[in-house]
Each structure stands twice: as structure tokens, then as C-alpha cells.
Amino acid sequence: MPALSFFPGSWSLFILLSAFLNFAGTAWGQSQVEEKYSLESDRKAFEELRKDIPPAKKMANDEKAFMDEMFVDFSRSPADIRNRFSSLLSKKREAFQNDMNQTREKTNREQQQARDSFSKTQERAREDFSKRKATSQERQDFFADLDLKRKDFYEGQREKREAFEDIMRTKRKDFDDYVREKTNEFNQRHRDYTQRYEENRKKESEKKRKSETSRQDLQRSIDKEY
């Protein structure tokens, strides 16, 4: 995934993709989500200093830095900040969905290969058996054993698929919970920022008004003298 900067000169907002099944965050009281989907600031200059910090704590610190950075001053309008946050969430959702799709495609491919291999093994066993003389009982036992192997194989395939779907559902829920949690956090801070932004804007407007009034008063005084 290419790096992306929210604002000129700011830290990169994306952490490089890490292992797909490496959930983090439970031990630190936040929703489970893989590190690459986390809303973090990429502070690589500090990695050596932070190498002994547990991954979950490190991710939490980076997420806080990311949020703090967005609301650091009043140079950005609330609308601009919300648009940038929404854009980042969209990119994270896209990255997550792409990984989910690739994982599903890989699993489907592997299961299909396993079925093909099993079918060929069964076919070779039937061919080899047909080449030799066998009693009626031997034939009965052979095909019963073949059928039992078939049932066991497809039962195993079914169990693997169910386990896989459970993992995928858990990953989806973890990601959705994380997005919801971070969106709520953002909305809360955004409301506070919007209020402070408007108060600051009014204050600056009042300062400009007073400055202009003072300038005009001074100009009138000068005009009277001359």
C-alpha cells in the first residue's frame, strides 16, 4: 500500500502491511484490529526507542498521535478534517476488503486443489483394483472403504470451511467494531474542535474588527490635524 500524508510535513498516516492474522489491541481495552488497518502515524524515527514497547501499546500510542495531529491547531477547517478522516477510513476499508477477498480466493483455490487431488487418488485406486482378480467380498470391502474415505474427506473439507468462515466473520466483526470505535472517538473530538474552531474564528474576527476600528480612528485623528 503506498504511503499517504494527511497534511504537508506531517507524519505518514499508514503503517506498512503486517501479517494478516496479527490482531492487536485487546489487552489495551480497544477493539481488535490488525495493525495495518489501524489509524496510526508512522513515526519510524522513534522505532528504535520504542522497540521494547508491546505491539498493542505501541499501536495505541500511534493512534493517539494520529488523532492529536489532526486537531493540533485551528489551521484546518472542521469540514477539511472530516473529509480527510473519511478518505482515510475509505482507504482502510478498501485495504481490508482486498485482503479478505485474497484470503477467500486462496482458500477456495487450496480446497479445490485438495478435492482434485483426492479425486485423482480415488480414481487411481479404482483403476489399480480393477486390474487384479478379486472375490465378491473383496470388491465389497474395497468399495466400502473407498466410500468411507470419500465421506471422511468431504466431512473434513466441510469442517475446514466452517472454521474458515468463522475466522472471516470474526475478522469482519473486529474490523467493523474498530471502525465504529474510532469513528465515535473522532466524532467526539471533532465536535469539540468545531466548537473551539468557531470560537477562535469569532475571536480572530473581533480582533480584526477592533484593529480596523483603531486604524480608522487613528486615520481620522491624523486627518483632523492636517
Q: Is the pLDDT of residue 25 over 50?
A: no
Nearest to 182 by CA among 117, 99, 93: 93
- What does the alpha-carbon distance between residue 60 and residue 54 come to, in Å, rounded to a whole number? 10
Q: What is the mean pLDDT of the chain?
A: 80
What grid cell was written down for 23? 490482531
pLDDT-wise least confident of 7-11, 28-32, 101-105, 127-131:
7-11
Q: What are phi and psi of 33, to 5 degrees?
A: -160, 150
pLDDT of 75-119, one tens digit each?
899 999 999 999 999 999 999 999 999 999 999 999 999 999 999
Pairing relation of β-strands 33-34 and 23-24?
A: antiparallel
Question: What amino acid is encoded at 34 in this protein?
Answer: E
Q: What are phi and psi of 3, to 5 degrees?
A: -70, 155
Q: Using alpha carbons, list the distances in angstroms from residue 103 to 61, 96, 100, 106, 107.
A: 29, 11, 5, 5, 6
Q: What is the pLDDT of residue 207?
A: 81
Q: 217 near 76, Cβ under 8 Å?
A: no
Q: Answer for the pair 22, 42: CB distance below 8 angstroms, yes or no.
A: no
The predicted pLDDT at position 23 comes to 36
Reported as a single tens digit per residue, the pLDDT across 186-211 is 999 999 999 999 998 888 887 887 77
* Residues facing 42 on adjacent strands: 12
Between 38 and 21, residue with greater pLDDT: 38
For residues 101 and 103, give the distance between their C-alpha atoms in angstroms, rounded to a whole number.
5
Q: Which of 41-50, 86-95, 143-152 has the lowest mean pLDDT?
A: 41-50
Is the whole-model pTM more than 0.85?
Answer: no
Please give the Cα distance from 208 to 216 (Å, whole number). Answer: 12
Q: Where are the beta strands (DSSP E) in the chain?
A: 23-24, 33-34
Burial class (CB in 10 A: 0-12, 13-18, 19+), 49: exposed
Comparing CA positions, the residue from 45, 37, 95, 43 lying closest to residue 69 is 43
Largest CA distance in the chain: 131
Instruction: Tell me the average pLDDT across 53-67.
Output: 80
**CA separation for the pair 148, 145 (Å, rounded):** 5
Please, where are the H alpha helices in 9-77? 55-70
Separation between Cα atoms, residue 85 and residue 23, nearest integer Å: 22
